[in-house]
Structure 1
């Protein structure tokens, strides 16, 4: 019997894609090493290595044979799994074929060289040292977007690299609703005469904080056989279903900040580890996108690690690591983990309410940068003005203002909105999980995280990119994507905390 040409084309397509996936995975490890372990002087070689790998990956994705395989499958009778793979590869192929390889190389090289510049500028509290790099990256990303679709706003095109299916119009509606409803709530909180407990003031040794972070990862069920914990200038997670790593940072004056950052990155890692092993090297073995990825990190950080049941479970371990906390109660710890601070300057340390004003600020600034409505040199001033307008606080330094985030050194313009989208989705997912898992809060309080892990794996992780974002959300929750669950959750939570 003659071979089915559809089978041949599909096998050819998946072989080609697996090779690309492996090359991109290798590039990811090199990027991890640059941020975590590489000697400071290694940048020239590393930028060349990453640039070369990005060019190879781009050439393989845009190869004529890839296009021929996709064309052969255009009208084929594929099952749902195969159709999803073809859909996702086609989308990447069509975007990538419009971008010249030399531009891909230049972007990769520039972002690699930008990282140490950002680190130095942040350490020296001097945005002017980083500004020329930002100017270069803005120009490069505009050119990139122009190649993909010259008829649409560049920022909209860039946003689709991180969230291809919800649409920037949906994002704008969500952010606008958050701004409209959270700002009055924040004002009510700040006008409240309730003083929440502050049991974690003082100095906390960073080595002991690392041990506590490991305790937290053990408690939550991190798979150390497929992961590791390290320190980086900015917390992040990366990897594959076989190797998903967590990076955090420590501040002697802020034990809670390191702990919640570690749990946040655990959420990313547990999503990656929950992807199906058998689909490694295909789109079905990859995360859906950054909105969904952020929903996992924000769910574990906020709905678990900032909950009272979690602190009933975990506070004894904190007391074992740090002296002077004998009188602290789980309620005290819960209040401390959810305090809305007046001087909320740092995004990764922000509470669930003010966090989104950080995102709105960044979204507005980077969109204006990309669309040419804001000069790079103006960023510190505009940043500080918006911080004062949205959060009532003004940074005194660039390090605690426009240099606090690593994202622009990576050239990831369009990424920031996914943090708020992820928070909104986290609440929608958690509400569904809570409906379907009997006594979920009790399970968290007893240290049994398997029901939540299993629910998330079944409803989110195992699907990879099988569904588009809206379809995945409806499959998991039975409802379209909306901000209602998030706003109900924070209104009830902070209303109770601050007696509103």
Structure 2
């Protein structure tokens, strides 16, 4: 029988091996951040080689025989529930990775690095044909990747599990179908309403002053600047570790709210990352659960806090200070402006809470057809525009505001988009629980007292890392199984009141 010391040693050896992999992937993340934020345009060839080498090294360390032996030894030990969960997560990664050749991992990494500047150029020049060849290559590579992992299941289902391993694609399909069925009538009712919400933020806004305002927002919400930074990127994103969780945003001269909402969205991601337990760094217990949970945090802060009337009562003085020409704007005006429904907006990251999900349905349907071979790459612009006209009543004038607007496919991130809607649904469920458990949450938001909310999220979501599967984490946090009821009730109540429905 193994002694306690032997069992502890088995687990520690496994964690030592995993931490090396985690550090390599973290270094790759910083290189990816640099490529999107500040790398010189000519740096792609070297960066592509660097990222490919790191991906290969990480994959080799994860799939080597010694890692399998360390897993076997740890699994035979008597472990606490937390340690057993960490082993479970490493086993899952190991089983998937050992089915994929290192050469394919290198090829995917190299191609995604090369695809980023191609996408940027294609978008800038409004020319999908420039992006199409490398997109087709990425699709072929990701099909191969999925087939290596499990040739007996649809490729898109396998790819989806890279981002949400436990809810299942059938759950995503069911949620998206319900959102489409129940939000479309609400969107139509809003469109037929005679109510005209306030729109006080028209004008030109200096990007440098906008940056100061977004920093005000991050200060107000409680961003830890000692462990983060704010930069600009063509497509806003957040990345990092509990010790270094960075956010990016973008500024448009004529869109004050766009930079604010995207920054608050990325703050949600970063505060989740910063809230992971420091002592578990390098372990699955110190990593985010998955993209559905990650998106729940960004949508929680963007929509349930950042678009709320209490928040605008709190934050509007900062807006007036930075832009004195807006001195006459009231908190109610700002609240209405932040929640206007635009059924003619073709841009996902600028979309309101309701039409946003039609953007996700569109992308989900297109990328699934691409991966399953039911749609040719050359057909994407036409199909995209047709679906947008069908679902949103607007037809993009250009590919730049159509099928080239998102960065995800240049990353090879097929299967990612459904997690945005899953995260929005979960955000509403989490907020309902927080609102029930925190005394006068609206009053605390209006007073700028975000400590209790941070503590609630840390206690119920962040501190657990990957200890729980997604369904179990949701039950632990809210006492209920995952459901769209809270989001649909919230949307109906909020927009019914705004538009007098």
User: Which residue of structure 2 aligns with residue 161 of structure 1?
Assistant: 162
TM-superposed CA distance for 1:73, in Å, is 2.8
Alignment of 1:37-436 (within 5 A): 37-436=38-437
**SS at the partner of 1:324?**
helix
Residue 9 of structure 1 and its aligned partner are, at CA, apart by 1.7
Aligned partners of 2:419, 2:274: CA distance in 1, in Å? 20
Distance in structure 2 (CA, Å) of the matches to 1:12 and 1:229:
37
Map Cα deviations across residues 163-221 of structure 1 (whole Å, 9 max, x no partner): 00000001100000000000000000000010000100111110110000000000001
Deviation at 1:72, TM superposition (A): 1.9
**Aligned twin of 1:12:** 13
Aligned counterparts of 2:362 and 2:398: Cα–Cα separation in 1 = 17
Distance in 2 between residues matched to 1:248 and 1:485, nearest whole Å = 29
Shift in Å, 1:342? 3.2
1:74 Cα shift?
3.0
Q: 2: CA distance between counterparts of 1:6 and 1:66?
A: 16
Matches within 5 A, 1:404-483: 404-483=405-484
- SS of equivalent residue, structure 1 residue 313: helix
Gaps of 5+ in 1: none
Contact 2:10-2:77 within 8 A present in 1 as well: no
The offset of 1:76, in angstroms, is 2.6
Tell me how far 1:77 sits from its aligned partner.
1.8
Which residue matches 2:493? 492
- Between the aligned partners of 1:172 and 1:14, the Cα distance in structure 2 is 36
Q: TM-score, normalised by structure 2?
A: 0.99
Deviations 1:74-115 (A, max 9, x none): 333211011001000000000000000000000000000000
State how far apart, in whole Å, the 1-side matches of 2:328 and 2:183 are.
Answer: 33
> How far has the Cα of 1:324 moved from its partner?
1.6
* Structure 1 Cα separation of the partners of residues 82 and 329 of structure 2: 52
Post-superposition shift, 1:6? 2.2
Give the count of matched residue pairs.
500
CA distance in 2, matches of 1:444, 1:19: 41
Q: CA deviation at 1:23?
A: 0.3
Aligned equivalents of 2:481, 2:298: Cα separation in 1: 21
Using the alignment, how far apart are the partners of 2:63 and 2:313 within structure 1? 53
Distance 2:70 2:215 in 1: 46
* SS of residue matched to 1:169: helix
Name the SS of the counterpart of 1:238 in structure 2: strand
Which runs of 5 or more structure 2 residues have no equivalent in the other structure? none
**SS of corresponding position for 1:73:** helix
Aligned counterparts of 2:331 and 2:112: Cα–Cα separation in 1: 44
Residue 2 of structure 1, CA deviation: 6.5
Q: Give distance in 2, aligned partners of 1:289 and 1:2.
A: 35
For the residue of structure 2 that corresponds to 1:418, the secondary structure is helix
**3-state SS of 1:244 partner:** strand
What is the alpha-carbon distance in structure 2 between the residues aligned to residue 481 and residue 436 of structure 1?
Answer: 18
* Deviation sequence 1:274-315 (CA, Å, 0-9, x none): 000000000000000000000000000000000000000001
Shift of 1:7: 2.0
> Following TM superposition, by how much is the alpha carbon of 1:65 offset from its aligned partner in structure 2, in angstroms?
0.5
Q: TM-score, normalised by structure 1?
A: 0.99
* Between 487-496 and 6-15, the greater mean CA deviation after superposition: 6-15
Q: CA deviation at 1:441?
A: 0.3
> What is the Cα deviation at residue 431 of structure 1?
0.2
Deviations 1:42-73 (A, max 9, x none): 00000000000000000000010110011123
CA drift of 1:326 comes to 1.7
Q: Give 1:11 shift.
A: 1.2
* Conserved 8 A contact 2:343-2:355: no
Q: CA offsets per residue over residues 459-486 of structure 1, 9 Å max, x none? A: 0000000000000000000000000000
- Alpha-carbon distance change, 76 to 156 in structure 1, aligned in 2, over 3 angstroms: same
**Partner SS for 2:324:** coil
Distance 2:343 2:170 in 1: 31
Change (3 A) 1:81 1:2: closer
